[in-house]
Amino acid sequence: MVKSPAGSNRLRRVLLLAVVGLGVAAAQKWDPACYPIRVPRLVKPPRIDGDLSEWKYVAFTDGAWDILRVRQARWYDPTINRLTDHANEPPPEDDLQARYYMAWDDRHLYLGAEVKDNVNDVTDPHHEPKRWYFKDAICWFVEAPRDEIPEKFTAGDHAFCFVIDVKKPPYGAWWRHGLPGKDYVEEPLPKSAVDYAIRMNPWGRSKGDFILEARVAMAPTFGTGDPKWHAPRIGDVYGLEIVHTDPDGGDYGGHLLIYGNGDDDSTWGRMILTGPSQPIERKPN
């Protein structure tokens, strides 16, 4: 079939727009290699008591996150990164804002968060132990070690999820992970492998605010997954995504996804275990 000149011009325009569109999409694609997450080794193990002050200044953090900052991130997808509106909501930055901290030593991964939240919500009308994402929770998704293969909770993928419930129910520290030959294993983190503390309203500002301080033993968790995992050493590369859920009275509610796009571990950030870091130095003037 011979196309008319008008038809072929139209076709050229459509093709050109498609190519430009693909170019924009490619330019905006999230490349975890562009944002290395350097997690320092701690010289002195912290006390797990809901106060991060003894280690937060020598840990990894990249400052405060809220939906406005996440919206500018390359991995942002409005269908999964969201806040909810149940009327009478505060401004978006007061609905959920958090600083996350991470560090490691020979045995443990240390996880911390300082969070401003308007409502503490840990009730779920259809509760199941594995439904941390229907409650206020922070979950660190870690692939240990990182590889370039897209996988969803196969052996080597781990999610350490903390429900912000001061009653610390049996599902309060949850472990979604993969075992060789078995994906999406859901179970509580073994008590012997985890220690955590939650302090509510630490700044006298909002009853929804909290500090979470946790440590997870690596050998009994990472050691069950990818056979390539070994005891942590400086230079090891893991995958990392943080998922922070915030229903605030709704059902499936707010989600901040940091450093990744969901369960596909090839979208997770590149986390590098480094040697100890020094606190920020402040000059006399």
CB of 18 to Ca ion, least distance (A): 31
Query: Closest separation between CB of residue 175 and Ca ion, Å?
Result: 18
Shortest distance, position 129 Cβ to Ca ion, whole Å: 19
Q: Are 229 and 36 in contact (CB under 8 A)?
A: no
Closer to Ca ion at the Cβ: 45 or 220? 45
Q: What is the secondary structure of 128-164 as a DSSP string?
A: -TT-GGGSSEEEEEEESS--SS--SS-BTEEEEEEE-
Cα 172 → chain centroid: 17
The footprint of Ca ion (CB under 5 A) covers 46-47, 49, 51, 95-96, 117-119, 121, 136, 147, 149, 151, 246, 248, 265
Closer residue to Ca ion, CB minimum distance, 21 or 90? 90
Residues whose CB falls within 8 Å of the CB of residue 224, separated by 6 or more in sequence, listed in order: 177, 179
Q: Which residues lie closer than 8 Å to 14 by C-beta, 6 or more apart?
A: none
What's the CA gap between 41 and 28, in Å, rounded?
A: 32
| Nearer Cβ to Ca ion (105/117) | 117
> Minimum CB separation from Ca ion for residue 112, in Å?
8
In angstroms, what is the minimal distance from the CB of 99 to Ca ion?
15
Q: Which helix (H) or strand (E) holds 22?
A: helix 5-28
Of 138, 140, 119, nearest to 239 (Cα)? 140
Q: Which is nearer to Ca ion, 208 or 232 (CB)?
A: 208
Complex with Ca ion: residue 4 or 53, whichever CB lies closer? 53
Kindly state the tokens that stand for 140: 């660190």
State the burial class of residue 30 (Cβ atoms within 10 Å of its Cβ: 0-12, 13-18, 19+). middle
* Least distance to Ca ion, CB of residue 248, Å: 4
* Closer residue to Ca ion (CB): 151 or 273: 151
Calpha distance 259→242 (Å, rounded): 7
Kindly tell me which of 154 and 274 has the beta carbon lying closer to Ca ion: 154
Q: How far is the CB of 51 from Ca ion (least distance, A)?
A: 5
Omega before 145 within 30 of 0, i.e. cis: yes
Instruction: Compute the C-alpha angle 246/250/255, nearest 5°.
Output: 30
Q: Which is nearer to Ca ion, 103 or 119 (CB)?
A: 119
What's the closest the beta carbon of residue 63 comes to Ca ion, in angstroms? 19
Q: Is 262 helix (H, G, I), strand (E, B) or coil?
A: coil
Contact in structure between 270 and 237 (CB atoms under 8 Å): yes
